[in-house]
Chains A and B, each alone.
Chain A
């Protein structure tokens, strides 16, 4: 019979955590619900986008010549217009009343009449106004002997040169959305899976199975295996949700920057791993201090609160100004970096040196926290019965 290497010990613990978690109904349901919500949202957005920018306009009599100019003008306003020629005005008016047609245009090109149900939407009104005015202008130009096409070309050529001293990123809005979404996903994952680590630690402690486990494992095998196993579960969910969300967004055109979003997701995964080791170890150490699930809340609330504060403050600052000095400083420091740095990176405002500094600091913090948390865990996890004081655990050998 072969011995048990530390890596196999950690692997076995991690595998148990992973398989027993992934198989639970709550994991499957929560993932499916999030995916369904996301799919529904994207679908809704796409439909909304579609409906809001698409009109059917009925044209009657002389107005039918306006079909092409109307489509082009509306397109320059970002609207899709479908035109239909109608002969029966009464029937067309009924269609307007039923909402099948947005507007009915009748009359001569220079004196158009538009019939709508409630009100004419601004884009459509502007388009039609513009066409009417253009028609009048063309007629007058022709009267004084000018070629309307030549005039139009000359007018088109006249433009101002704009020199931006601090050009705004035209994709800023979209980048901000991606950054906030990534930060939110990380926040959710760290909180949920950190809490899960804490619950797992207390489950082993309260069911006393930890005594059998520690007769064959070192405390750090158990701690590391648990953090890795549950971290992977969180990672699977993060990648699944992020990936499906990205796919949906790309397909539906809600996010026009799949490259930025994809990169942000990859960066998010890296930061999730760092952040998870950081927070999960603290969660585990805190949980090892209490004997029962009922008392768990009191020790993990401060940690959860810290994550919430980091998230809320971080997001607020980031939305206001991602390149602000305070935001830059916070995003480099370990408790904030796992949530804020990926957000800033998605915003495209984090210089490389800041990213590297944040990574190094996070790694150092992970090492320190793992050492300290491991010590607390090892000393406290077998003390059953009463709550263990942190000071006691740090000063005594078990």
Chain B
């Protein structure tokens, strides 16, 4: 039933008195790009480490295809840890072949796949170099190749975009899209929210060790209070105050941003504006992911 789905089911983890994860739960479906966002220390890395079996959960379960993840199935996951790690003195090709073999590939397949990813990620001239002699950007590419070289069924990437130049960001995005297109569920964490917004099918926002929001970008942006932008030159200050359920968030020049309460009517706002001045623009403003994220973080501070 859960074919091709990676499920994180109510996973909890504590370090001594510190709760790192509290009933963390979400799933990543086949062919989906899932963005995992949250402030530092929210529990993203811990979740990924538990999914990879690098850490043991105190409670909860990680399932793949409906069955709990074992060492055998874990080998089918491609992983890029937050702390990048490769053998500094090993050559690029040797390193990728070795990692592919460690994930269960035969030596021949490992060679073929390593060469393939080296070519796809533009590392051909560097294949015989030691990793420590590569530029940081190229090391990142090798790291990505290391996650992909065993042709994984699931991809888990912790901050894959951090430290990349714009070209490398494009390469990385392209590879992630292509990988997801082959039916592989891809989950990655990032602080680059514009990127997540552009790239991801669904997004999960983590706070204090639990998922506080999860859905498609559209769903997330449509949730929460409705905001209207009204451009009415000549309208006196306070023109919208009389509309029930509405309050002005900000005024910039001739533009007023009005937030509506649950029962408020946007047409009432428009009528109130037209009553005092001509209206040039009247739009429903949807929050960007970054704004959503900020409001979540603010709630955290207030909580």
Contacts and interface: CB of A to CB of B under 8 A. Distances in A.
Interface of A: 1-4, 9, 12-13, 16, 20, 203-204, 207-218, 382, 384, 397-398
Contacts of A217: 102
B64 interface: no
A1 B55 CA distance: 26
A3 B75 CA distance: 8
A211 B81 contact: yes
B86 A207 contact: yes
B74 to A, nearest CB: 6
Contact of A216 (B49, B74, B86, B89): B74
Nearest to A19: B94
Contacts of B283: none
B91 to A, nearest CB: 10
Instruction: Tell me if A's interface is mostly helix, strand, loop or mixed.
Output: loop
B85 A212 contact: yes
A216 B56 contact: no
A397 B56 contact: yes
Given A3-B72, A4-B102, A216-B74, A398 B52 contact: no
Given A203-B87, A398-B56, A208 B104 contact: no
B106 interface: yes
Where chain B touches its partner, the secondary structure class is loop
B199 interface: no
Contacts of A384: 83
A212 B79 contact: yes
Interface string B56-95: 1000000000000001101101010101111111100000
B54 interface: yes
Given A211-B83, A382-B54, A216 B102 contact: yes
A9 B102 contact: yes
A214 B85 CA distance: 12
Interface of B: 49, 52-56, 71-72, 74-75, 77, 79, 81, 83-90, 98-99, 101-106, 109, 146, 151
Given A211-B83, A212-B86, 11 more contacts: A3-B104, A12-B101, A12-B102, A13-B102, A207-B86, A209-B85, A212-B79, A212-B146, A214-B53, A218-B71, A398-B55
Given A203-B87, A209-B86, A215 B109 contact: no
23 contacts: A1-B104, A1-B105, A1-B109, A3-B75, A4-B75, A9-B102, A12-B101, A12-B102, A13-B102, A20-B90, A203-B88, A207-B87, A208-B85, A209-B85, A209-B87, A211-B54, A211-B85, A212-B79, A212-B146, A215-B52, A215-B79, A216-B71, A216-B104
Contacts of A13: 102
Contacts of B106: 2
Contacts, number: 71
B98 A16 contact: yes
A398 B55 CA distance: 7
A215 to B, nearest CB: 4
Given A3-B72, A16-B98, A398-B55, A215 B77 contact: yes
Nearest to B73: A3
Contacts of B109: 1
B86 A215 contact: no
Contacts of A4: 75, 102-104
A9 B98 CA distance: 11
Contacts of A212: 79, 81, 85-86, 99, 146
Across chains A and B, which 5 residue pairs bring their CB atoms closest together, nearest first? A208-B85, A209-B85, A4-B104, A215-B52, A208-B83
B133 to A, nearest CB: 14
Contacts of A382: 54-55
A381 to B, nearest CB: 10
A211 to B, nearest CB: 4
Nearest to A9: B102
Contact of B85 (A2, A12, A210): A210
B184 to A, nearest CB: 15
A137 to B, nearest CB: 79
B34 to A, nearest CB: 19
Of A208, A215, A384, the most chain B CB neighbours within 10 A belong to A215
